[in-house]
A = this chain, B = another copy of it.
Amino acid sequence: MRNYLLPALLAVTVPVCAQQQENDSLVLRQLATEVLTHSKAYSNLRDLTQQVGGRLAGSPQMVKAEKWGEQVLKDAGADTVYMQACQVPHWVRGAKEEVRIISRRRDFIPPLNVLALGNSVGSGPTGITAPVLEVSSFDDLEAKKDQVKGKIVFYNYAFRPEFIRTFESYGDAVRYRGQGASRAAKYGALAVVVRSMTHGANNLPHTGAMHYNDSFPKIPAVAIGLEDADLLSNRLKGESDMKLYLKTNCKMLPDTTGHNVIGEIRGTEFPDQIITVGGHLDSWDVNQGAHDDGTGCVQSVELLRAFKAAGIKPKRTIRIVLFANEENGTRGGKKYAAEAKAKGEHHIFALESDAGGFTPRGFSFTMPAEKQAKIISWAPLFRPYDVYDFTAAGGGVDVGELYEAIGTPMGELMPDSQRYFDLHHAANDTFEAVNKRELELGAFSMAGLIYLIDKYGL
């Protein structure tokens, strides 16, 4: 590939109030160079993922992660660092779950590659042995409802490949993980096996939260790798009386105490106006929680460090929040929003990074159109960084609680989504899967946006 003409492009895209935007473009360039040259995001992520590791709410690792969060926020130069306590669910996986095909053919089949879904109940010590009913959708389940009783229901709904942004495939398929157990239990199913939420090219199972409908019995639920899902489906075609043996050892314990970890730079002019930036500190227990959401945490902390290093003194209060419990309860986000409401805090914007540490493409927003128009007017400033999309609708799960509670305009970093569901909630979401520069470009993009919102208000 030959050279690009970036300076020319930049010249073309600087619009009307040229002088102002020229100053801003210099500050953004300064922030980009600072982050790409001196970022601590990657080494902080290494520590969080490799020294703390998986950190589900309520786990001892989460306590370690909170200490890590306090330290990195202090090191980044926060004026104040504090913990905000909240009650969090305390789900434990227990011993390794197990699903086996029991076949009259008596050929050797290794155990299927499965993970119990988060929040699901255990099968009891003897496990469950039952015939399998495969369904392709909830419609298919309804059509076969008379056959469900006493069976293990196998939801084999595939991620649709034709969507461009993979979050659309996820949004389309995730209901089987979330609601599948209760909808099958309604008709007497004993357990469910759900095809993993991934386009992936391997057999790794992907866990994630599920939710019971209290009107129906709580039955075990597991995710299965794609190759094993296909294997199971193929065997069922030739052997309708095949059974599965399923054993899970998970348990929902009483709620326990977790903490949002918060670090602030107090605003010089309008300290009561708060801009929140964050990711979630918790992760699933089966991986290092690198892209989900170690990257969002270290990017948020990096924003603060880069502001300090670049000598930017925000007018408004910038509050970095590492949320306590996104994965299986959103209790951290709920607590943060409830406190903000109770105290009558003035939140002008809340930004989240929880879609992976991949190359940034833009931001999604939920806010009144005239506010979003203001942000869209800054888009040319980001074009030299290949960050170009400010029009999508969206916002993060944790900051979404603030939006729900007090209507705070919100946004989320929008990275390239192609690789996210290859590793989301699976064992391969590790430090090695994160590219240093992609991570840093995301942190820079967040810093640039927050710099502008702080400077011009919203």
Contacts and interface: CB of A to CB of B under 8 A. Distances in A.
A287 to B, nearest CB: 18
- For chain A, which range describes its interface: under 10, 10 to 19, 20 to 34, or 35 or more residues? 35 or more
Contact of A418 (B12, B412, B435): B435
Interface stretch (A118-126, A327-335, A436-444): A436-444
A377 interface: no
Contacts of A142: none
A3 B164 contact: no
Contacts of A201: 42, 436
A32 B162 contact: yes
A386 B167 CA distance: 14
A9 interface: yes
A300 interface: no
A217 interface: no
A1 B388 contact: no
Contacts of A1: 167, 354-355, 364, 394, 396, 412, 414
SS class of chain A's interface: helix, strand, loop or mixed? mixed
A52 interface: no
A58 B44 CA distance: 47
A364 B4 contact: yes
A301 B69 CA distance: 49
Listed residue (A164, A389, A436) with the most chain B CB atoms within 10 angstroms of its CB: A164
Contacts of A393: 2-5
A422 to B, nearest CB: 7
Given A201-B436, A418-B438, A437-B199, A2 B164 contact: no
Given A418-B435, A418-B438, A364 B2 contact: yes
Given A1-B412, A364-B4, A386 B37 contact: no
B438 A167 contact: no
A83 B135 CA distance: 50
A211 B255 CA distance: 68
A4 B168 CA distance: 8
A137 to B, nearest CB: 18
A161 interface: yes
A161 B419 contact: no
A4 B417 CA distance: 12
B391 A418 contact: no
A166 interface: yes
A50 interface: no
Contacts of A389: 386, 388
A416 B435 CA distance: 12
Contacts of A252: none
Interface string A390-405: 0111111000100000
A213 interface: no
A386 B418 CA distance: 11
Name which of A1, A393, A400 has the most chain B CB atoms within 10 A of its CB: A1
A36 B437 contact: no
Contacts of A175: none
B385 A164 contact: yes
A42 B199 CA distance: 13
Contacts of A359: 359, 416, 418
B419 A438 contact: yes
A394 B37 CA distance: 27
Interface string A1-22: 1111110010010000000000
A167 B4 contact: yes
Interface of A: 1-6, 9, 12, 32-33, 36-37, 42, 161-162, 164-168, 171, 199, 201, 354-355, 359, 361, 364, 366, 384-386, 388-389, 391-396, 400, 412, 414, 416, 418-419, 422, 435-438, 441
Given A4-B364, A12-B391, A32-B162, 7 more contacts: A2-B366, A2-B400, A5-B392, A9-B392, A33-B162, A361-B386, A386-B389
